[in-house]
Structure 1
């Protein structure tokens, strides 16, 4: 099976920074791959907050992760601060992809690239549903 290959987006609408904590380091002495995904998940929540919403309340809808893929590019080192940038892409009526780039904040070294596929879910029926129009417009504004 061929390896995943991502290219950075031309522009990232949102960025946040988080330090690598000692408990996130694995036996190899670098950021654990699962911990990187946890940091990206926190960044996703911050992205929704930045848009003025909660990931679990977008006009009565929530956004669930449908799929996620990551390409690790270098090791996250103990004590580094990571910059996580995100931007929406491939909008469709019931969801979108959230592209991300993780880099070392000080040096700019790329640590990972990836995407999260998000699906809009009506919280009453718990089924996929069209995204609220105001939210779709907000995604397209940046």
Structure 2
């Protein structure tokens, strides 16, 4: 199977710091892949909050994660603090990719990168909905 290779822009408009706790580690004493996705989800919530949104209210619509891909580049360990950079890319009618990069804050070592595909969802109608134009413009301007 071919390895996943994810291209991430050199500069991303949002950054947040996340400490790594013992519960984030696996039996090999490094960052667990399932916990990595959980950390990225926390960063996505903070990214949305930085624009005044919540996952259930982006211009009146919610978001759903449609897919996710990640690529490990190095190990991460208990006690390290990660800087997670994030932004939006590859817009379509119903959503976009939330692209991200995770680095060790102290050394700058890149730990992982990835993208999460999101679609907009009308919870009242229980169906996907077109991306709000205001959200698209805000992300494109960042």
Q: What's the counterpart of residue 34 of structure 2?
A: 34
Q: What's the counterpart of residue 8 of structure 2?
A: 8
Q: What's the counterpart of residue 84 of structure 1?
A: 84
Secondary structure, in 3 states, of the residue corresponding to 2:30? coil
Query: 1:58-97 residue pairs with structure 2 within 5 A?
Result: 58-97=58-97
TM-score with structure 2 setting the length: 0.96
Deviations 1:28-73 (A, max 9, x none): 0111111111000000001110111111111221110000000011
Q: Offset of 1:74 from its aligned partner?
A: 0.7
Deviations 1:81-105 (A, max 9, x none): 0010101000112100011001101
Aligned residues: 142
RMSD (Å) for aligned C-alpha atoms? 1.0
User: Within 2, Cα distance between the matches of 1:21 and 1:10?
Assistant: 28
Provide runs of 4+ in structure 1 moved above 6 Å.
none
TM-score with structure 1 setting the length: 0.96
Q: Structure 1: any 5+ residue segments left out of the alignment? A: none
Q: What's the counterpart of residue 22 of structure 1?
A: 22
Q: Structure 2: any 5+ residue segments left out of the alignment? A: none
Deviations 1:1-29 (A, max 9, x none): 20101133122010000100011111101
